[in-house]
Chain A
Amino acid sequence: MVFRKKIIIILLLTLLTPIVYAQPQTEAEELNLKAAFIYNFTRFIEWDDDIFPNEFVIGIIGNSNIDEPLEEIAQSHKAGNKKIKIKRFYSLDEIEKCNILFISKNVKISLDDVLLKPDLKKTLIIGEKESYAQLGAGINFVIIDKKLKFEVNKKSLNEAGLKVSSQLLKLAIIVN
């Protein structure tokens, strides 16, 4: 019984302590964060208007549920003045021209094969797998100390003809 009383006292102390000292910290689920990052990238990168004059296409390859938060964003936001369209692809052959291609980490397709697709010459390739930026993806997400960061391969972005704001590059982890 004495021990139970002690437990109750400690429990109360544990509950009370943070009321005095707690610092607010924003949290978000990984996919929501990645979707918000992807949308933000559209504000700092310029694409060739020739790809799609009236819409901005974000493609997804691999089994990721990132389409759900991206669809939410697309319903209420535009990329510049263009309507955002989300497309899902299920194989290499299905991949079509798009402004951004997000390659999910569980995809079973070689990155080399994606990079070699002629339709994707002007596409920003975004990955979430270790070493993807080094291997040629324009941007790659990494988690460091529970925070989402992004790596940038400047050479890949230049080759795709994408103009990237220096403001974005300052925040990126440059891999080459």
Chain B
Amino acid sequence: MKTTIGLFLFYCLVPFHLLAQEDSSENAKSLVDYSIEELMNVKVVSASAAVSGHRLIEAPSTMLIITAEQIEERGYEELGDALRDVPGIDFIHLNGYAPTLIYFRGMYGAENLRALLMIDGIPENNIAGTSDMGGPAYSLHNVERIEVIWGPSSALYGANAFGGLINIITKKGDQINGLKVQKGQGNFNTSFEKAAFGSKKGKFDVSFSGSLFRTDGPIFTERTPNYSNSYVDNAYSFSTAVGYASSRCKAEIGYRVFDTPMGWGQILNSPTQFLGLPSPGNGNVGTVGILAENFRGEKAGRYEPFSRTGYMQNTYLVNSKWSVFSLVEYRETGISERSYTYITVDGKNMYRLPTARYCNRWGGKVSATYALNEMHKISLGAEFYQDNLEQGSRGVQLDTNKYIVNGQFNVTGIYSTFLPRHYLIWNNFGSFLQYELHTKWLKETYFTVGTRFDINSVYGNPLSPRIAIVNKPAEKITIKLLYGAAYRAPTITEIEQFRSSLGTLNSLANSDLKPEKVRTYEINFSYNPIRQLLFQVTGFRNELSDIIILTSLQVGNLTQNQNVGNAYVNGVEAKLDFSISKKLTGFMNFTYQHGKQTAKQFERSDTTFNIPNIADVKGNIGLTYRVDDLFNISLIGNWVGQRSVLGSNPYGPVDGYFITNCAITTRKFLQNHVYASLTVKNLFDVKYLDPGARAADGLLYSTVLEQPGIMGIFKIGVSF
């Protein structure tokens, strides 16, 4: 604890110590003496975080942008790296499967379904509603910026823009402008290769980007001595886009694919007791679960989610008042047929269970925006998509032969085959309307009113309104009052109930299952006294209803998903971005949140409990120091307070932690062609735990999840 306080004080005091040494007030004046040619060769530094934040102050939502420069300076390699430093998000790192669960503003539950991940405005969430989101295939080397929006956005984007929205904006050809290659190497045999090529010729713009990532770790020997279930086996991404821009239209056709073969991580227990291995500890029994060590010369298990998207989009500027946007998309997501687990319930008989799933979506969107005059702006649009959804995991023709392995196990299912795929078709039509009014009321006030109405062929017709009032009572102050409603669509698995690769379990379908709903009230205050300083504080209240909970029925030992939960979360987020000079920038943020959930228990009284697995208090603090023409160094601390757990979890509350991440990036040398970076996560090798997910009872599901100690990546980048 003393170390934690010491580190926190160190970070807090350092910027003010350095404040006396740096001054950039003459920057603009000194540039005046440059010729135009010289100015055109000056690198634009996106400003300090404070300056980039300034542009978002008037947005009718609480949002933040992570710029390409911040991604580079802070050593963010994948989406999860970038999100850990923003306020209001809780994580459970499974180190495999998913591979990370993220929860906006204390809304624990529904494993990554209460957030919408988009790439260039197109949803990237798994169509079937499985938990995988992000991961090492989602490399950030070709990302121009990441937009993070807290609170509901269903009024514009429909399903699952519930607790928050993450929109990754990729670099176009002119932004890449050449060939850029990266090679990285780290501990646990981690290595990656990344490349991006982009060019703009006249009105045409073309870009290609790809990445390949592999690792053997982290390795949690305390869980099982030869642990090998957090590997990544050549996760890859590839994307390409061809754009055409004229004075009136901007069109793009593109394709991207992400594939992440990885271990199952720690979400499920390992049956160590039956294998004659030491106990996994932390209240985990070690009698049920999946293998976490190599077996029969192959990995203990493999989970391989994939996502492929093809699209065409066009923005047409009719004139400076009218613009029309259109999009056609085709997507495929699923779990590759190469996925499997080994499972035993008695330490003698072992089953190799393959698993697979495939879904696709086609659809399109048309929207128009009309700026009537300086005061009025109207946007309206419609969207249709059709989902082809596989019903649960694909059925399997089990190979019932028993093969003796290691002279100890009878293994069944080694040569199992998949049965034909069964699917359903779901259709969704959505229409939305938004009106923006700019007035001089109370000096300057913007009103945004919008709503989206969806008609879904299965789960009904949710309505998602939002209202935003943004007032600027003074030049440097902005106040926002925000209200929004959103929904989280029930998945086909939740409606039809769990269906394993071997058949259905004793669960009942529920064709009346409705979407989960949230209403969020926010008040946001921003103070931007000087360009180099931006302070924001947001108070929020989320009210969730119709939460989907797997409920025990009164008869026949059956379960069924039902809309029986309600919850609320109240919280405050504070954020400070500062730029002490062009050499030293930093940020601090702090989040307090607390929530309670109520679940109806039929003929018994309702139960109310604190929302588990989220920290009531947490914060981040980061500094980036640029040493002229040599290198940048970023030091970022992540602090997470104690987390309460589910009543079923025997471990009890999980202690908080403070970890430090460091990134050093050199400037480009050898005629601006080559640079190097070193990123070290958990610099002080702090031992910490995340709470287990789902029941986390220590039987099937792990009570807590061990987290990796110090991890480093050394990277060389070359650009031509």
Footprint of B on A, CB under 8 Å? Answer: 3-4, 6-7, 10-11, 14-15, 17-19, 21-33, 35-37, 39-40, 44, 63, 65, 68-70, 72-73, 76-77, 90-92, 105-106, 108-113, 130-131, 134-136, 143-149, 168, 171, 175-176
Known contacts: A14-B664, A28-B31. The answer to whether A21 contacts B680 by CB under 8 A is no
Q: What 1/0 mask marks residues of chain B from 1 to 36 whose CB sits below 8 Å from any chain A CB?
A: 000000000000000000000000111110110111
Q: What 1/0 mask marks residues of chain B from 626 to 649 whose CB sits below 8 Å from any chain A CB?
A: 001111000000000000000000
Q: What 1/0 mask marks residues of chain B from 69 to 107 whose CB sits below 8 Å from any chain A CB?
A: 000000000000000000000000000000000000000
A22 partner residues in chain B, CB cutoff 8 A: 629-630, 666-667, 669
- Select from chain B the residue with minimum beta-carbon distance to A21: B669
Known contacts: A29-B27, A32-B28, A73-B29. The answer to whether A14 contacts B36 by CB under 8 A is no
Minimum C-beta distance from B689 to chain A (A): 21
Known contacts: A27-B45, A110-B321, A171-B40. The answer to whether A131 contacts B27 by CB under 8 A is no
- Select from chain B the residue with minimum beta-carbon distance to A149: B40
| B43/A11 in contact, CB under 8 A | no
| A28/B664 in contact, CB under 8 A | no
| A28/B187 in contact, CB under 8 A | no
Flag whether B122 is at the interface (Cβ < 8 A).
no
| B31/A36 in contact, CB under 8 A | yes
| B666/A14 in contact, CB under 8 A | yes
Known contacts: A18-B666, A168-B36. The answer to whether A4 contacts B582 by CB under 8 A is no
A6 to B680, CA, bound (A): 12
Contact segment of B276-284, B371-379, B514-522, B566-574: B371-379
| A25/B629 in contact, CB under 8 A | yes
A110 to B375, CA, bound (A): 10
10 A-B contact pairs sorted by A residue (CB < 8 Å): A7-B680, A23-B669, A26-B38, A26-B43, A37-B36, A92-B373, A108-B377, A113-B374, A131-B247, A144-B174
Q: What 1/0 mask marks residues of chain B from 418 to 448 whose CB sits below 8 Å from any chain A CB?
A: 0000000000000000001010100010100
List of 5 A-B pairs having minimum Cβ-Cβ separation, nearest first: A69-B28, A134-B247, A21-B669, A36-B31, A145-B177
| A36/B28 in contact, CB under 8 A | yes
Known contacts: A7-B710, A65-B531, A111-B320. The answer to whether A29 contacts B45 by CB under 8 A is yes
A92 partner residues in chain B, CB cutoff 8 A: 373-374
Interface residues of B toward A: which range? Answer: 35 or more
A131 to B203, CA, bound (A): 13
B175 partner residues in chain A, CB cutoff 8 A: 144-145
Flag whether B536 is at the interface (Cβ < 8 A).
no
B44: contacting residue among A6, A19, A28, A91, CB under 8 A: A28
| A110/B371 in contact, CB under 8 A | yes
| B678/A147 in contact, CB under 8 A | no
B440 partner residues in chain A, CB cutoff 8 A: 91
B36: contacting residue among A7, A44, A112, CB under 8 A: A44
| A135/B44 in contact, CB under 8 A | no
Query: Given known contacts A29-B51, A145-B174, what 19 new A-B pairs fall within 8 Å (CB)?
Result: A4-B710, A7-B710, A10-B712, A14-B666, A14-B678, A14-B714, A25-B43, A27-B43, A28-B43, A29-B47, A30-B44, A30-B47, A40-B32, A73-B32, A77-B32, A106-B58, A108-B371, A110-B374, A131-B250
A147 partner residues in chain B, CB cutoff 8 A: 40-44
| B668/A25 in contact, CB under 8 A | yes
- Select from chain B the residue with minimum beta-carbon distance to A93: B374
A145 to B55, CA, bound (A): 21
- Select from chain B the residue with minimum beta-carbon distance to A109: B374
**CB proximity to A under 8 Å, residues B205-247:** 247
Q: What 1/0 mask marks residues of chain B from 368 to 406 whose CB sits below 8 Å from any chain A CB?
A: 000101100100000000000000000000000000000
A6 partner residues in chain B, CB cutoff 8 A: 712
**CB proximity to A under 8 Å, residues B270-318:** 317
| A112/B320 in contact, CB under 8 A | yes
Minimum C-beta distance from B372 to chain A (A): 8
A6 to B714, CA, bound (A): 11
- Select from chain A the residue with minimum beta-carbon distance to B719: A145
B438 partner residues in chain A, CB cutoff 8 A: 108
B37 partner residues in chain A, CB cutoff 8 A: 171
B555 partner residues in chain A, CB cutoff 8 A: none
Minimum C-beta distance from B290 to chain A (A): 29
B373 partner residues in chain A, CB cutoff 8 A: 92, 109-110, 113
A33: contacting residue among B39, B371, B628, B710, CB under 8 A: B39
Known contacts: A25-B668, A91-B374, A108-B374. The answer to whether A40 contacts B710 by CB under 8 A is no
A73 to B27, CA, bound (A): 10
A130 to B245, CA, bound (A): 11
- Select from chain A the residue with minimum beta-carbon distance to B440: A91
- Select from chain B the residue with minimum beta-carbon distance to A61: B374
| B28/A25 in contact, CB under 8 A | no
- Select from chain A the residue with minimum beta-carbon distance to B200: A144
Minimum C-beta distance from B379 to chain A (A): 13
Minimum C-beta distance from B715 to chain A (A): 10
A23 to B319, CA, bound (A): 45
B250 partner residues in chain A, CB cutoff 8 A: 130-131
B472 partner residues in chain A, CB cutoff 8 A: 63
A174 to B32, CA, bound (A): 24
A106 to B377, CA, bound (A): 14
| A7/B28 in contact, CB under 8 A | no
A11 partner residues in chain B, CB cutoff 8 A: 664, 678, 680
- Select from chain B the residue with minimum beta-carbon distance to A35: B28
Flag whether B46 is at the interface (Cβ < 8 A).
yes
A144 partner residues in chain B, CB cutoff 8 A: 174-175, 177
Flag whether B48 is at the interface (Cβ < 8 A).
yes
- Select from chain A the residue with minimum beta-carbon distance to B628: A24
Minimum C-beta distance from B453 to chain A (A): 26
| A31/B47 in contact, CB under 8 A | yes
A65 partner residues in chain B, CB cutoff 8 A: 51, 54, 531
| B39/A27 in contact, CB under 8 A | no
Known contacts: A18-B667, A65-B54. The answer to whether A40 contacts B35 by CB under 8 A is yes
| B321/A23 in contact, CB under 8 A | no
Flag whether B557 is at the interface (Cβ < 8 A).
no
A70 partner residues in chain B, CB cutoff 8 A: 28
Residue from the set A29, A112, A147 with the largest chain B CB neighbour count within 10 Å: A29
Residue from the set B39, B444, B582, B674 with the largest chain A CB neighbour count within 10 Å: B39
A36 partner residues in chain B, CB cutoff 8 A: 28, 31-32, 34, 39
Flag whether B676 is at the interface (Cβ < 8 A).
yes
A44 to B248, CA, bound (A): 29
- Select from chain B the residue with minimum beta-carbon distance to A148: B44
Minimum C-beta distance from A130 to chain B (A): 8
Minimum C-beta distance from B369 to chain A (A): 11
- Select from chain A the residue with minimum beta-carbon distance to B187: A3
Flag whether B677 is at the interface (Cβ < 8 A).
yes
| B40/A32 in contact, CB under 8 A | no
